[in-house]
Amino acid sequence: MSEATAVYRLLTIQSHVASGYVGNRAGTFPSQLLGWDVDAVNTVQFSNHTGYGRWGGLRFDAAHLADVFANMKKNGLLRHNRILTGYTPSPEALAAVEDLIRAERQKNSSLIYLLDPVMGDMDRGMYVSPDVLPIYRRMLHLSSIICPNQFEAQVLAGMDITSLDTMKAVLTKLHAEYGVPHVVITSLELPADDLAKIGAAVTLPDGAQPMLLVGSTWDAEKKSPRPWFLQFPSHGEYFSGVGDLFAALTLARFSETPDDLPEAARASYASYGTPAENECTLPIARAITLAVASLQHVLLRTHKTMVELGKEEGVDPFQPTHTASVEDRVKVMRMRELRIIQSAGDILHPTVHYRPQWMHHSA
């Protein structure tokens, strides 16, 4: 195989919105920019994301998805090194996706499958049908990487995370019982004394409260999780599609060896720089560090644009949308769309400010 015929194919199965950046619309362009031949199966076609409060379009049913998958298979087009799945509208549609992933996993043991088990969050609880849970639990066994938030990790494991000990119990369960190689809990709340134990900060140098991301790779010999963490400023609370962009960047960047990455991703890996002391240098941690770094650029650019648009249009773009009028809510949602296109350079070559650390031994 030559450079001309090298195969860097990624399949993503998520939502499509005509306008704005969530689901496949958040992940496809960055993955393409990083050199991936992205195949995209859309699970819905909506005018815009549902955070606007009103939208038009269709959720696609399981029969349509299965038909698309079946014909891709017939035509030899299921030949991906990577698969990404995110929000899927119904248990039936998710089951069709499960069938696909199961067949691909059986065919290709080196497939890297990132499962983003989109179900809910700590603020809103479950926002999809609870019938997806048993399906996601089965799909965990097929995954290479999962990136739940705290709520989703808890629901999948069936235990709450209130401390370091319960965090480790959840990680162990996802690794050992569900066979997930790499778990990434994208945001986690821990008591202040537990933060101190693992060597994490309670506040960032500028006084802001950091987000805590916890990663863990299963150590099969020691039969224990090897947890690490990454702290970075939170800019994401106003935005939709952040998790989708994060998942896509993580999958596009992750590789055990640089040769498994397309040239664009390989060439821009230098952005990572030199590891610090106590830094976790696992490939998954490095991928996530670059993903978070790119995301910070996108969020800061979006934030800046919101401030300027707010002035121009005389609307507070940071106002709570659940109490806003329908018209104000829509206006604010438009301002909050991620500035992904404008961030192409930063997606390829991010500046890394925040680095992953192993959790202290004492933890």
Write down the least CB distance from residue 234 to its own copies, Å: 21
- Look up residue 342 and give its DSSP letter: G
Q: CB under 8 A: which stretch of 44-52, 136-144, 205-213, 238-246 binds its own copies?
A: 44-52
Binding span for its own copies by CB under 8 A among 163-171, 196-204, 249-257, 327-335: 327-335
Which of 15, 60, 230, 282 is close enough to bind its own copies by CB under 8 A?
Answer: 60
Query: By three-state DSSP, how is residue 217 classified?
Result: strand
Of 117 and 262, which has the nearer Cβ to its own copies?
262
Q: How far is residue 24 from each of residues 40, 102, 127, 170, 249, measured CA to CA in Å?
A: 7, 21, 19, 29, 12
Q: Does 29 bind its own copies (CB under 8 A)?
A: yes
Q: Of the candidates 106, 129, 209, 342, which one interacts with its own copies according to CB under 8 A? A: 342
Tell which one of 122, 202, 220, 341 touches its own copies (CB under 8 A).
Answer: 341
List of residues 6+ apart from 329 with CB closer than 8 A: 52, 53, 321
Cβ 22 to its own copies shortest distance, Å: 13
Stretch that binds its own copies, among 14-22, 134-142, 158-166, 283-291 (CB under 8 A): 14-22
Is residue 45 a contact point for its own copies (CB under 8 A)? yes
CA-to-CA dists, residue 320 to 34, 185, 308, angstroms: 35, 26, 18
* Size of the residue set binding its own copies (CB under 8 A): 57
33 makes contact with its own copies (CB under 8 A): yes
Q: Is 71 one of the binding residues for its own copies (CB under 8 A)?
A: yes
Q: In DSSP terms, which residues pair with 41 in a beta bridge?
A: 13
Based on the shown chain and the rule CB under 8 A, indicate whether residue 40 belongs to the binding site for its own copies.
yes
What is the Cα–Cα distance from 322 to 72, expressed in whole angstroms? Answer: 42
Please state the closest distance from residue 186 (CB atom) to its own copies, in A: 25
Does position 270 interact with its own copies (CB under 8 A)? The reply is: no
For residue 363, give the amino acid letter: A
CA distance linking residue 151 with residue 155, whole number of Å? 6
Neighbouring CB atoms inside 10 A of 187's CB total: 18
Query: Should residue 354 be labelled a site residue for its own copies when binding is judged by CB under 8 A?
Result: no
Give the active site residue among 37, 61, 244, 316.
244
* Alpha helices by DSSP H, the chain: 24-33, 62-74, 91-107, 132-140, 150-157, 164-172, 192-198, 242-253, 263-267, 283-313, 326-335, 344-348
Q: Which of 308, 316, 320, 353 binds its own copies (CB under 8 A)?
A: 308
Could you say whether residue 50 binds its own copies (CB under 8 A)?
no
**Region for 199 from its dihedrals, namely left if φ exceeds 0, alpha if ψ lies in -120 to 50, beta otherwise:** left
Asked about 244 being catalytic, the answer comes back as yes
Rounded Cα distance, 233 and 300, in Å: 10
Residues annotated as catalytic (active site), given as ranges: 244
Sites of contact with its own copies (CB under 8 A)? 1-2, 4-5, 16, 18-20, 25, 28-29, 32-33, 35-42, 45-48, 52, 54-58, 60, 64, 67-72, 74-77, 264, 301, 304-305, 308-309, 312, 330-331, 333-334, 341-342, 344
